[in-house]
Structure 1
Amino acid sequence: MIKNTSFSGVLRRAAAVTAALAALCSPAFAASAVPSHVDMPAVYSDQRLTVASMFTFIDSGVDELPMRFDVRPITLAQLEDQLRRPDVQASIGKGTIAVLYPNVEMPFRASFISMIQGIEERTRLAVRSYPVDAKVDAAELNATLKQNGTKVVIALGRQGLNATAGLDREISVLVGGVLLLSDAENVAGISLTPDPALLFARLHALLPELKRVIVVYNPKNSEWLIKLAREAARAQGLELAAYVAGDMARAAQLYPTLIAGADGRRDAVWLPHDSTTVEESTILPLVLRETWNSGVPLFSSNVLHVKKGALFAMVPNNVEMGRTLANSALTLMAEPRKRGNSGLAPSRTLQTAINLRTANHVGLQIGYQQQRSFDFVFPQP
C-alpha cells in the first residue's frame, strides 16, 4: 500500500533529504572521515541521526521535520562522488551488517571483541553483534537477521561460521578468525593463518643467508597453504622442502631425521597451523628439543610457540582483521554482484613476536633498536 501524504508534506520531506545530503557532501565534510552519524541541520543542536535512520524518519509519514537551511552549496560532481562511497550507499536503504561470534568466556572472547571493534570502526554503520552457541536455532537466527534487514553476515570463529549454515542465500557471508579452512569449504574471508609471504620475508630479513625452509604438513589441513608457501619461497629466493605426514606417527618419524640433516646456517624449520604435524603435547616438544640441540632456526605461525622457544612467529592483528572484513562487507553491500567471488585469504595484517634467548642461541644478535620493530619480545624483561 502506498501511503497517502499531502503535497506540502512531500515537499518538506524532499527538502529534508536534499539538505541532509548537501550537508553530508559539503567540502568541509568530504575532507574529513565519514562519521557514524550525520549532524542534521535541525533547530535542536542535539538532533543527530544516521543516514539510514533519517530516511526511516522521513518515510514514516511525519510531515514536520524542523530544520534550518544554513548548508553550503555543492556541485553535482561532489554529490555523486560522495554517494558512490560504499559506506554511504550501504547506509541508504541497502541493509545492515551482522556479526556472529562464539559465545565464549574471556580471555577467548577478547580476540573476537577486538575484531568487532575493527568492524565498527571501519563501517561506521549500525552493526549488530550476536553471540552464538554451538547449538544455535538456525531458523530463529535466520528470522532475526532478516527482520533486521541483514544483507551481509561476518562470521567469526568456527562456531560463528557453523551458525551460518541455515541462512538464506540472499544473505552474503564473510568469515574471519577461523584457524583452518580447506579448499573444500567454499567461503570468502580471512584465515587466522599468517601469509607465508610475510613470514618468509621476516625470516629473510633476520637470517639473509638461509636458503631452505623445511615444513612437515598434512594435505587435508594445509594443502592450500603450502601452495601459497611455494610461491612465497620462490619470491624470497628460498627452497621450500615440504614433507607429507598424514598422521602424528609419521610426523614424529620425519622431524628428527630432517632436523639432523639440516644445516643451521642455511636451513630453517617452519611450523604452520596444522593440528596433525604440530600437535602441541607430543610433536611440538620434540621439534623444540631437536632444533635447539642442532642449532637450526625454528619459526612458527603460532605466537605461543615463541614463548616456548621458537625464534619468531607472526600473529594476526585482530582489530585490523576486523577492518579488512568490514571493507569486504561494505563492497558486497554496494556491489552485490561480487558476492560470487569467494575465496579464502591468509592474514596479512600481522604482528611479530621474537624470542631473544633463542636468537642468541642461533648466533643472531637483536639490538635494542631492532627489538622495537617487534610487537612482542620474549623473555619479557
Structure 2
Amino acid sequence: MIRAKTCAARVAATAALLLGALAGTAGATPTLGGAPAAALPTIELPGIPAQARQSVGALFDTIDGASPALPGRDDVVPVTMAQLEDQLRRPDVRASIGKGTIAVLYPNVAQPFLAAFSSMIKGIEERTGLPVRSYAVDTRLDGAELNARLRQAGTKVVIALGRQGLSATAGLDRDISVLVGGVLLLSDTDNVAGISLTPDPALLFARLHALLPELKRVIVVFNPKNSEWLIRLARDAARAQGLELAAYVAGDMARAAQLYPQLIAAADGRRDAVWLPHDATTVEESTILPLVLRETWNGGVPLFSSNVLHVKKGALFAMVPDNVEMGRTLASSALGMLAGGPRGRTLAPSRTLQTAINLRTASHVGLQLGWQQQRSFDFVFPRP
C-alpha cells in the first residue's frame, strides 16, 4: 500500500509549485518589495509544513493556466544527471568556490505555495554545498536595492524561481548570470536559461509506451502561440518511441471544443491516446478539460497529461517536476557558470520528474497494474 501521508505531502509540494509559480499576490513574508532592510536575512528551510499536507485537495481543484508563448527551440540538448555529477567533480568547478556567490530570488507567497520553492532551494543548497542567499520578492521590488545587495554579497549567479523571481532580474547588472526555474513557459529572453515546469515529452511518451505498448498514435490539440516549441520537441520524442504525433491547431477555445469530440470519436482506444500539454487555450480548465475527460472516458481512449492536477480528475497518468531535483540541477548549472562556463540561452523542459497514476482510469482502459507496477509511481489515485 502506498503510504498515504507521504503521498499527500509530496503531491502538495508538486501541486503547489504549479500554482505558486504563477501566483502574484499571495503571501505576507518580509520582502525586498516593501520590508525594511533589516528584515531581509537569508531564509531558513524547514521541512514541508503541515499546511502543505492539509491543502492537497484544494490544490488539485485549481490552476492558473495563463502563460505567455515560447518560440520554437532547436538547440535543446538534454543533460543527464550523470553528466552534471561529472561536471561537479572537475577541478575548475571545485576551484570556483570563492569566486562568487549564488543567490536565489523566489516569489513572496504564503504556504502551501512557499513549500514548493523551499524544496527547490533545499536542492540548490544540497548540490552546491555553498552559502546561498535567498530573497523573497514581489511587485513592490526596488530593483536598484536588490542589485546593490547582490553586488555587496559578491553574487555572480542568480537562480530566479517563478515569474516574480524572473521579473526581479530585469534590473540586474549584465555580468550577473541568470538561471530560471519554477515557471511554465517564457518569452524569448537573451539572458535566460534554465528549466521549465513542462515535462519533457520524451519522458511522457516513454512512460506511455511502457504502460500501453500497443499504442501507435498520440493526439494533441495545441495553440501555436503557446506550445509550438513543445510540439517540435514532441514530434521527435514520438518518433523515438515508434509513435505518430497527430497534432491539430486550435487558435481559440471554440476551435478546441469543436476538435476534441471529433478526434476522440474517430480514435481507436487500442491504438490511440490523447495528450494534454500545458496550453491555456486548448486545455482550459473549466470548460475544455471536463469535455475531454468525458469524451475520452466514454470512448475508452487513454488520456494522459503534462499536468499532475488532472490525474485526480480522471487522466490516466501525468508527470510533474521533482522540486528538490530541479533545484539540484539548477545548482549544477550555476556552479558551471561560476567556473567560467558559458551562459545558456535555452529554457529546457524538465527531465527530473515524478509520475502520478489513476488506477480507476487504468482499469477502465483495460490496464491492470499489480502491486509492483504501482510502486513505480510516485503518486497513486484514488488514494488507498
1:164 aligned counterpart, secondary structure:
coil
CA distance in 2, matches of 1:185, 1:294: 45
Q: Which amino acid in the other structure matches residue 84 of structure 1?
A: P
Question: CA shift at 1:184, angstroms?
Answer: 5.9
Structure 1 residues 295, 132: CA separation in 2 closer, same or farther (over 3 Å shift)? Answer: same
Q: Counterpart in 2 of 1:275?
A: 280
CA distance in 1, matches of 2:102, 2:367: 47
Summarize deviations over 1:102-123 as a string: whole Å, max 9, x none.
0000111111000000000000
The 8 Å contact of residues 193 and 301 in structure 1, kept in 2 or not, is answered as yes
Which runs of 5 or more residues in structure 1 are unaligned?
Answer: 1-80
Picking from 84, 90, 98, the partner of 2:96 is: 90
What percent of counterpart residues are identical? 82
User: Greater shift after overlay, 137-146 or 116-125?
Assistant: 137-146
Higher RCO, 1 vs 2 (CA within 8 Å, ≥6 residues apart): 2
Q: Counterpart in 2 of 1:234?
A: 239
Picking from 364, 376, 381, the partner of 1:373 is: 376
* Greater radius of gyration (CA): 1
Question: CA shift at 1:370, angstroms?
Answer: 0.4
* Paired positions, count: 297
Q: TM-score, normalised by structure 1?
A: 0.76
Q: Counterpart in 1 of 2:367?
A: 364
Question: CA shift at 1:82, angstroms?
Answer: 7.9
1:151 aligns with 2:172: no
CA distance in 2, matches of 1:261, 1:378: 28
Question: CA shift at 1:139, angstroms?
Answer: 1.0
The 8 Å contact of residues 216 and 243 in structure 1, kept in 2 or not, is answered as yes
CA distance in 2, matches of 1:128, 1:165: 18
The 8 Å contact of residues 181 and 221 in structure 1, kept in 2 or not, is answered as no
1:263 aligned counterpart, secondary structure:
coil
Structure 1 residues 272, 82: CA separation in 2 closer, same or farther (over 3 Å shift)? Answer: closer
Summarize deviations over 1:212-248 as a string: whole Å, max 9, x none.
0000111111111111000000000000011111111
Q: Counterpart in 1 of 2:109?
A: 104
1:126 aligns with 2:131: yes
1:349 aligns with 2:352: yes
Summarize deviations over 1:307-343 as a string: whole Å, max 9, x none.
000000000000000000000000001014x02x311
Summarize deviations over 1:11-51 as a string: whole Å, max 9, x none.
xxxxxxxxxxxxxxxxxxxxxxxxxxxxxxxxxxxxxxxxx
Question: CA shift at 1:131, angstroms?
Answer: 0.6
Structure 1 residues 244, 82: CA separation in 2 closer, same or farther (over 3 Å shift)? Answer: closer
CA distance in 2, matches of 1:115, 1:222: 25
Structure 1 residues 342, 113: CA separation in 2 closer, same or farther (over 3 Å shift)? Answer: same
The 8 Å contact of residues 178 and 191 in structure 2, kept in 1 or not, is answered as no
Question: CA shift at 1:83, angstroms?
Answer: 8.1
CA distance in 1, matches of 2:92, 2:193: 22
The 8 Å contact of residues 298 and 310 in structure 1, kept in 2 or not, is answered as yes
Structure 1 residues 183, 255: CA separation in 2 closer, same or farther (over 3 Å shift)? Answer: farther
Question: CA shift at 1:185, angstroms?
Answer: 6.7
1:374 aligned counterpart, secondary structure:
coil
The 8 Å contact of residues 190 and 345 in structure 2, kept in 1 or not, is answered as no
Say what the alpha-carbon RMSD is for the aligned residues: 1.4
Picking from 241, 259, 266, the partner of 2:264 is: 259
Question: CA shift at 1:182, angstroms?
Answer: 4.1
CA distance in 2, matches of 1:210, 1:91: 50
CA distance in 2, matches of 1:303, 1:83: 37
CA distance in 2, matches of 1:241, 1:324: 32
